[in-house]
Every structure is written in C-alpha cells, then in structure tokens.
Amino acid sequence: MSNDKRKELMKITRATFGFGGYDDAQFGLSLSFEGKGCGTDTFIGAWSFPPSEHAQWTVADQSQLFADAVRLLVSTLTDAKKKHVGELVGVPVEVTFEGNMLKEWRVLTELIL
C-alpha cells in the first residue's frame, strides 16, 4: 500500500449535518468533495444510539465525537465565511490524500471573498 501524499483542489458538493455515516445510523457532519476527475466523501460524528453493554465506546466517547464534529463545522463555516451548513456547497477546498485515503482538508481561505 502506498503512503504517498498528494493534494487535490476540489469543491464541496454536498454538506449536511444530521443522520449519515454507516447505514445512516450515525449522527454528524457529512461532506462530499469533487475535483478534476476525482471525488470523495467524509463523515465526522458518532453512532446515534447509546452504547450496548458490549460496546467498546462510552457515552462520554460519543459526546466527544459529537463535540468534535460541531467544532469542525464551526471552524469550516467561519473559514468559508458562511452561516449555514448548506451554504458550504461550492466552497473551494484543498484535500490531502495518503495513497487513496482522505487524510485532511481545508477551506481555501485565500480564495474566499
């Protein structure tokens, strides 16, 4: 497996906050990115239900993941100079991949008026 890093210029093509992730059984921030000949999705959040007695995560873990998703959303909206999640569609971003795995992304603030 290749660990080479590459950066792609893309735009956000979908932005939602709510149920999503695996089988729509999670709750958090869903984003889709598209660029020249490529596209990818990401989800930041947690399972939407309480942990079972056999779960390897706790309500505190879930709360932290929810908080992380909201903080990321606040930061992204601020960088993009937007007020609502849906307004992120069309925002230019730089997406970093390691091999084929999305590692991080950032709003291209230098292009935001």
Q: Residues 10, 92: contact at Cβ < 8 Å?
A: yes
Low-confidence ranges of the chain (pLDDT < 50): 1
Q: Residues 106, 88: contact at Cβ < 8 Å?
A: no
pLDDT value at position 11? Answer: 98
pLDDT value at position 2? Answer: 54
pLDDT value at position 113? Answer: 81
- Alpha-carbon distance of 40 to 38, in angstroms, equals 7
Predicted TM-score of the model (pTM): 0.90
Annotate 59-91 with DSSP letters as a single string: HHHHHHHHHHHHHHHHHHHHHHT-SSGGGGTT-
